[in-house]
Amino acid sequence: MTDFTTIKKNLKKDYSSFKGVKLALLGDSATQLFRIALRGCAFEDKIDLDIFEADYDQIERMIFDTASELYAFNPDFVVIFQSTRKLKHRFYKLEKGGADHFAEIHLDFVQEAFTTLNAHLRSKIIYLNFNELDDREFGNYANKIAISFLYQLRKINFELMTFAQRHPGFFICDLSYLVTQTGSQNATDEKFYVDVDLHFTPDFFVVVAGNILDIVNAAIGRMTKCVVLDLDNTVWGGIIGDDGMERIQIGDYQLGKAFLQLQNLAKQLKERGIILAVCSKNTDSIAREPFEKHPQMVLRLDDIAVFVANWENKVDNIKYIREVLDIGFDSMVFLDDNPFERDMVRTHIPEITVPELPADPALYLDFLRNENLFETVSFSEEDRTRTVLYQVEADRQKFKRTFTDEGSYLLGLEMECDVEPISSFTLPRVAQLTQRSNQFNLRTMRYSEDDLKKMIDSGRFFTLTFTLRDKFGDHGLISAIILEDKGDGALFIDTWIMSCRVLKRNVENFVLNEILELARENHFRSIIGEYIPTPKNGLVKSLLKDLGFVSRGSGWYLDTGLEISQAQYIKKTIYDNGRNN
Amino acid sequence: MTTDEIIEQVNEIFVEVLENQAIRINRETTAADVPEWDSLNHIMLVVEIEKKFKIRFSSGEVGGFRNVGEMCEAIRAKMQA
């Protein structure tokens, strides 16, 4: 764990090349150290975090006075930190008989605060839940009685989760979990609370700040998409090539439990949409055997999207895995017990995350928990099936090799595409695409589900989603378009994103035809496009030009009267006019 | 450990926490003598001193020392306790 003194030194460093993010910090206790921890941690994540720290104990005024400095600051994120001790004070001041409604009253406040913020800002709200604290006036009986503070506190934490599920723009920083994991003795210091109203230790503020930045990172599209696993002494104990399948350690017995825990984590990650790959120095057939035959293995071959076991160096193998998956190194995590391999990978691929796993496998899980490597801001049905998508992609690659020309390959794929406006079913996936897509993304606008709902409700926007199938299976929703009516017959491409899985499928041309059709039906005369360069979207730098748009000033224009060559490889299966109401 | 030896080690903590190599503290030094020694950094100094000497200050002590000498005497007393 990095301590506060070390993190604070970052403040003197140069942040100027980093991505700028604006964050407002509202607290009902002393927050200066919290602010320093946030700014210091942001350096580690290459974010130039511009922080507005509200005056002491001004949460209500800042939020409910919409002329306050908070609204003038117009942050990307609002962090609300109400401390448990202040909550307890309010609880003790309640009128007699009010205790069993305490959680409801607090949730009413959260609801009202969120509604007010949401009506005036486009910020995401990060709310810290409450660490457990109980004066034990009922002892353990507090669990059995609704008027105890402990009961009400836990109810608030539970109801906050329910609230967060209903409001996509509302995120919880799980302070309660963090205090449990860190230990209350390490997280708090009574004398600082008494003397200067500092509710946590400086070092613990670094833990909290780090977690808030995890949420920020995920919200700006930086998240783990793939875990690359070493095998020997990482996924099981022992060396499969030497010890043989009977003697490797995996299962319910002694050290086998440590590896079982890691496999369980990997399996859960796969279930929630993180791709698993294997990168091992082994003979392929020997490395695969436990996945096929070992009765205690949790991971099976169909859990692994890319399996690489050979005697080449791991740097080249990881580069190969990245190529097959077509994701950035910065969205990959490499787990290996061997410090030499870790160092080699880290040196040659600086963008990849290589956790410094402890030497004792029994500590792997506890270490990984504290690293919090798998933060996300969304979860959709599609996440569950991602591994299959990549495995099917490998089959397609084999099929492709049987064709000599591109055209007959594309025809042979028998592609079909559903074209629809965003619906309540596809809204989460589209929001997720806007958050995750970095490469095929013309303007890299990040939208939450709430943002999208607001845009659609405004009536100024047209949307299109594309769901693709071929003879090998479903690709799912692979492209989304958001078009804005700019008046004067001009339709502006606010967002054009596409999953890189379907590159070189002629989908771009198909999508453009659909945009044109929509524009003509709604009597637009021109379509305006814009490319906003980022370090990652060079892929679409010349997209508009290649599709026939003409550069005029800062924008790219396409006359809707022009005939564009038809994409004849994809069959359209559903049509809707793109108006969402 | 003598109080002077403690002052020497505390000086290292001051240099580290206040990020100023030139700091030299003695028994008579007060917060007014060191520009970087504000209330925020004072908390950091307390945290780092507690870690280094494996002691805990009490609530009144955090803001109650009149100068470095008093603080280091308190550290010495706690280390012997």
Query: Containing H/E element for A468?
Result: strand A461-470
* Residue B52 contacts A, CB cutoff 8 Å: no
Q: Residue A575's pLDDT is what?
A: 52
- Chain B residues with beta carbon closer than 8 angstroms to that of A201: 47
State the smallest CA–CA distance between residue B50 and chain A in angstroms: 12
Q: How confident is the model at residue A92 (pLDDT cuts 50, 70, 90)?
A: very high
Q: How confident is the model at residue A565 (pLDDT cuts 50, 70, 90)?
A: low
* Residue B53 contacts A, CB cutoff 8 Å: no
The 3-state secondary structure of A167-197 reads CCCEEEECHHHHHHHHCHHHHCCHHHHHHHC
Q: Are A373 and A365 in contact (CB under 8 A)?
A: no
* Residue B47 contacts A, CB cutoff 8 Å: yes
- Chain B residues with beta carbon closer than 8 angstroms to that of A4: 44, 47
Cβ contacts from A onto B, under 8 A: 37
* Residue B57 contacts A, CB cutoff 8 Å: yes
- Domains defined along chain A, listed by start: 4-219 (3.40.50.1110), 226-371 (3.40.50.1000), 405-574 (3.40.630.30)
Q: Which residue in this structure is represented by tokens 């202040």?
A: A86
- Chain A residues with beta carbon closer than 8 angstroms to that of B44: 4-5, 8, 202
* Residue B20 contacts A, CB cutoff 8 Å: no
Q: Please give the Cα distance from A401 to A396 (Å, whole number).
A: 9
Q: Residue A564's pLDDT is what?
A: 66
Residue B62 CB contacts under 8 Å (≥ 6 apart), including other chains: A191, A192, A195, A196, B42, B43, B46
Mean of the pLDDT values across residues A250-258? 93
Q: How confident is the model at residue A297 (pLDDT cuts 50, 70, 90)?
A: very high
Q: Residue A16's pLDDT is what?
A: 96
| pLDDT for residue A455 is more than 70 | yes
Least confident of A70-84, A187-201, A401-415, B20-34: A401-415
State the smallest CA–CA distance between residue B28 and chain A in angstroms: 24
Mean of the pLDDT values across residues A494-517? 90
- Chain A residues with beta carbon closer than 8 angstroms to that of B63: 195-196
Q: Are A203 and A4 in contact (CB under 8 A)?
A: yes
Q: Residue B40's pLDDT is what?
A: 87
- This model of the complex carries an ipTM of 0.91
* Residue B48 contacts A, CB cutoff 8 Å: yes
Give CA torsion, residues B32, B33, B37, B42, to 10 deg. Answer: -70
User: For residue A181, what are the CA distances in angstroms to A131, A186, A360?
Assistant: 11, 10, 19
Residue of B nearest to A35 (CA): B40
Instruction: Tell me whether residue A377 is exposed, middle or buried, using C-beta atoms within 10 angstroms of its C-beta: 0 to 12, 13 to 18, 19 or more.
Output: buried
| pLDDT for residue A223 is more than 80 | yes
- Domains defined along chain B, listed by start: 3-80 (1.10.1200.10)
Q: How confident is the model at residue A294 (pLDDT cuts 50, 70, 90)?
A: very high
Q: Residue A142's pLDDT is what?
A: 96
Closest residue to B43, CB basis, from A12, A190, A192: A192
Q: Residue A578's pLDDT is what?
A: 45
Q: Residue B1's pLDDT is what?
A: 86
Q: How confident is the model at residue A483 (pLDDT cuts 50, 70, 90)?
A: very high
Look at A202 and B58 and tell me if their CB atoms are within 8 Å.
Answer: no
Residue of B nearest to A34 (CA): B40
Q: A185, A189, A201: best mutation site toward chain B, by most B Cβ within 10 Å? A: A189
- What angle, rounded to 10 degrees, do the helices at A175-182 and A202-219 form? 140
Mean of the pLDDT values across residues A225-229? 96
- Chain A residues with beta carbon closer than 8 angstroms to that of B48: 5
Look at B44 and A192 and tell me if their CB atoms are within 8 Å.
Answer: no
pLDDT, tens digit (0-9, with 9 covering 90-100), for A419-435: 999 998 899 999 999 98
| pLDDT for residue A269 is more than 80 | yes
Look at B43 and A203 and tell me if their CB atoms are within 8 Å.
Answer: no
Mean of the pLDDT values across residues A91-98? 86
A93 has which bridge partners?
none
The 3-state secondary structure of chain B reads CCHHHHHHHHHHHHHHHHCCCCCCCCCCCCHHHCCCCCHHHHHHHHHHHHHHHCCCCCHHHHHHCCCHHHHHHHHHHHHHC
Furthest-apart CA atoms within chain A: distance in Å: 82
φ, ψ at A533 (rounded to 5°): -70, 140
State the smallest CA–CA distance between residue B5 and chain A in angstroms: 23
Q: Which residue has the higher pLDDT, A560 or A227?
A: A227
| pLDDT for residue A441 is more than 90 | yes
Q: A29, A188, A195, A205: best mutation site toward chain B, by most B Cβ within 10 Å? A: A195
State the smallest CA–CA distance between residue A29 and chain B in angstroms: 14
Q: Residue A577's pLDDT is what?
A: 47
Mean pLDDT over all residues of chain B? 92
pLDDT, tens digit (0-9, with 9 covering 90-100), for A123-143: 999 999 999 999 999 999 999
Mean of the pLDDT values across residues A346-355? 96
Q: How many CA atoms lie within 13 A of A174 on its CB side?
A: 12
| pLDDT for residue A413 is more than 90 | no
Q: Please give the Cα distance from A111 to A91 (Å, whole number).
A: 19
| pLDDT for residue A394 is more than 70 | no
Look at B47 and A12 and tell me if their CB atoms are within 8 Å.
Answer: no
Look at B59 and A33 and tell me if their CB atoms are within 8 Å.
Answer: no
Residue of A nearest to B63 (CA): A195
Q: Which residue in this structure is represented by tokens 């030299």?
A: B24
State the smallest CA–CA distance between residue B38 and chain A in angstroms: 12
Q: Residue A62's pLDDT is what?
A: 96
Least confident of A16-20, A38-42, A252-256, A358-362: A252-256
Look at B47 and A4 and tell me if their CB atoms are within 8 Å.
Answer: yes
Q: Are A514 and A574 in contact (CB under 8 A)?
A: no
CA B48 remoteness from chain centre: 9
Mean of the pLDDT values across residues B1-28? 94
pLDDT, tens digit (0-9, with 9 covering 90-100), for B42-80: 999 999 999 999 999 998 888 888 899 999 999 999 998
- CA distance from start to end of chain B: 13
Q: Residue A381's pLDDT is what?
A: 74
